[in-house]
């Protein structure tokens, strides 16, 4: 059985769409629930994504009591929790590695499968390990696993990160929350998801200051308890729908698109001529008749997010002129360029640079999602392509988007999701998609 999204281009999108809770905030927040030795945590706005189900499986595997229904996730890690995250989870989702910090802080031991590289780059974890070692852990790697151990409690330390890694900032911040003494983390990631995690840790009784700036100070506490927390809206999902509006020359209100989280994207889209009105709890996006080109360079926050690069590339194929994309965060995040070229886009890549010349007369083609954001970007390109675009490898898309095709349909797009077996095409119902995600 192969699932595909089929798009027929040519519709201007119109209406309103609501974004879900942020995938990249909810995964570390669920991992952080392991820090609480007493009480239960209740987390709201948890999206039904494949990655959320994987994180749920990781926590169940180590005997935390979990419940997840209707966007509400509860976690009770007050009993005795395990210390292992096996390869079957880490292979599916690298963010499984985020349980290492909380496990090590609480149990003095963590045995986690070594995350490999992935389609977008080699993605080492040296900065995570450097942080744990600075706090007194002994780290050993063997048989595809990393084992980190500490006698007694982790010790607060001053740690300078060589690169502001999002995952390393989160993992070390969680470990430091239960360490003895104060940890000062320098050159850290400043993403909104880091601030969300810090707020949750503080609600659990932690003492984290400075999240959202380049230096975070964490005063370790002896114990933490479960807390209530609501996840921030997904700025990448929001940005994806903003581009859907712009690329089709449509008019869409994106509820949950917060300007303070989306400044670099808003600035670049305005440079291209897109009209963006900042409203109370979202943004109204109006696509112009003619898009201008704009160069982008991906950078850690508040720079342009790498997770919006593929979608922005789709938009640039429709701009009148040439633009340069420089990808500085991941060394191999241009796999989608090849797929766009199959749709007749004019894109040249060399190393970390892509040169996009528009406006291309895109034509429908069979294309494959090479990673999560590439999947969304190919659907966006399909919205303006002549004829039918068929996007496969949807397991990537399901990691980060809930009901993507239904949300586009509701805005007037001609898009369906089908299941194909032996040349039989069946339309996939919403619940079937969800079930297939849950069963993973």
Ligand X SMILES: CC(=O)N[C@H]1[C@@H](OP(=O)(O)OP(=O)(O)OC[C@H]2O[C@@H](n3ccc(=O)[nH]c3=O)[C@H](O)[C@@H]2O)O[C@H](CO)[C@@H](O)[C@@H]1O
Ligand Y SMILES: C=C(OP(=O)(O)O)C(=O)O
Q: Which residue ranges make up the site for ligand X (CB under 6 A)?
A: 24, 27, 95, 121, 123-128, 163, 165-168, 189, 306-307, 329-330
Give dist(CA 221, CA 240) in Å, integer: 39
Sort strands 275-279 and 282-286 into parallel, antiparallel or unpaired.
antiparallel
CB neighbourhood size of 59 (10 A): 26
Residue 307 touching ligand Y (CB under 6 A): yes
Closest CB to ligand X: residue number: 167
Closest CB to ligand Y: residue number: 307
Residue 125 touching ligand Y (CB under 6 A): no
Is residue 395 within 8 Å of 21, Cβ to Cβ? no
Question: 201 is written with which tokens?
Answer: 């840790």
CB neighbourhood size of 279 (10 A): 12
Q: Which does 373 bind (CB under 5 to 8 A by kind): ligand X, ligand Y, none?
A: ligand Y
Residue 28 touching ligand Y (CB under 6 A): no
Q: Which is nearer to ligand X, 102 or 250 (CB)?
A: 102
Minimal distance, residue 62 CB to ligand Y, in Å: 20
Distances (CA, A) of 54 to 49, 87, 95, 343: 9, 12, 9, 33
What is the b/e burial string over 189-217, where b = at least 16 CB atoms within 10 angstroms of the residue's CB? bbbbbbbbbbbbbbebbbebebbbeeebb
CB neighbourhood size of 222 (10 A): 9
Q: Which is nearer to ligand Y, 95 or 246 (CB)?
A: 95
Helix axes 166-177, 100-107, angle to 10 degrees: 20
Diameter of the chain measured on Cα atoms? 64
Query: Taking CB under 6 A as the rule, which mask of x and - marks residues 342-381 in contact with ligand Y?
Result: ------------------------------xx--------
Give the one residue of 95, 189, 374, 411 binding ligand Y; rule: CB under 6 A.
Answer: 95
Q: Which is nearer to ligand Y, 147 or 371 (CB)?
A: 371
Output DSSP code: residue 213.
B
Residue list, annotated binding site for phosphoenolpyruvate: 23-24
Give dist(CA 316, CA 348) in Å, integer: 13
Residue list, annotated binding site: 23-24, 94, 123-127, 307, 329
Minimal distance, residue 307 CB to ligand Y, in Å: 4
Q: Which is nearer to ligand X, 125 or 369 (CB)?
A: 125
Residue 94 touching ligand Y (CB under 6 A): yes
Give the one residue of 400, 402, 404, 413 binding ligand Y; rule: CB under 6 A.
Answer: 400
Q: Give, in degrees to the nearest 5, the angle at Cα 322 between 318 and 323.
A: 90
Catalytic-labelled residue, pool 12, 18, 86, 118: 118
Q: Which does 440 bind (CB under 5 to 8 A by kind): ligand Y, ligand X, none?
A: none
Confirm whether 118 is a catalytic residue. yes
Residue 37 touching ligand Y (CB under 6 A): no
Minimal distance, residue 394 CB to ligand Y, in Å: 15
Residue 21 touching ligand Y (CB under 6 A): no
Residues assigned a catalytic role: 118
């Amino acid at each position: 059985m192969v699932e595909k999204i089929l798009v027929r281009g040519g519709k201007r999108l119109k209406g309103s769409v609501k974004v879900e809770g942020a995938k990249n905030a909810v995964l570390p927040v669920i991992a952080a629930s392991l820090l609480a030795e007493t009480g239960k945590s209740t987390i709201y706005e948890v999206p039904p994504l494949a990655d959320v189900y994987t994180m749920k499986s990781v926590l169940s595997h180590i005997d935390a009591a979990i419940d997840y229904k209707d966007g509400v996730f509860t976690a009770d890690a007050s009993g005795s929790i395990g210390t292992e995250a096996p390869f079957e989870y880490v292979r599916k989702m690298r963010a499984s590695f985020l349980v290492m910090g909380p496990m090590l802080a609480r149990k003095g031991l963590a045995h986690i499968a070594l995350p490999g590289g992935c389609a977008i780059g080699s993605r080492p974890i040296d900065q995570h390990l450097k942080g744990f070692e600075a706090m007194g852990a002994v780290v050993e790697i063997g048989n595809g696993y990393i084992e980190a151990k500490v006698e007694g409690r982790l010790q607060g330390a001053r740690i300078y990160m060589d690169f502001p890694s999002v995952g390393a900032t989160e993992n070390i911040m969680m470990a430091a929350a239960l360490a003895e003494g104060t940890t000062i983390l320098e050159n850290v990631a400043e993403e909104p998801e880091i601030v969300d995690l810090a707020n949750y840790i503080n609600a659990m009784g932690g003492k984290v200051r400075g999240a959202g700036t380049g230096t975070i100070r964490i005063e370790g506490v002896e114990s933490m308890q479960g807390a209530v927390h609501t996840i921030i809206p997904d700025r990448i999902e929001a940005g994806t729908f903003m581009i859907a509006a712009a690329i089709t020359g449509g008019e869409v209100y994106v509820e949950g698109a917060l300007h303070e989280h989306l400044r670099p994207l808003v600035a670049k889209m305005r440079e291209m001529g897109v009209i963006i009105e900042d409203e109370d709890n979202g943004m109204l996006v109006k696509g112009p008749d003619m898009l201008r080109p704009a160069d982008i360079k991906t950078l850690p926050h508040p720079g342009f997010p790498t997770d919006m690069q593929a979608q922005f590339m789709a938009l640039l194929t429709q701009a009148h002129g040439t633009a340069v994309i420089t990808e500085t965060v991941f060394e191999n995040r241009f796999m989608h360029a090849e797929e766009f070229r199959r749709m007749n886009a004019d894109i040249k890549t060399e190393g970390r640079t892509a040169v996009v010349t528009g406006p291309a007369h895109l034509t429908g083609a069979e294309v494959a999602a090479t990673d999560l954001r590439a999947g969304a970007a190919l659907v966006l390109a399909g919205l303006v392509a002549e004829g039918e675009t068929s996007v496969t490898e949807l397991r990537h898309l399901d990691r980060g988007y809930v009901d993507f095709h239904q949300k586009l349909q509701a805005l007037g797009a001609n898009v369906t999701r089908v299941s194909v077996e032996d040349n039989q095409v069946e339309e996939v119902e919403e619940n079937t998609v969800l079930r297939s995600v849950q069963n993973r």
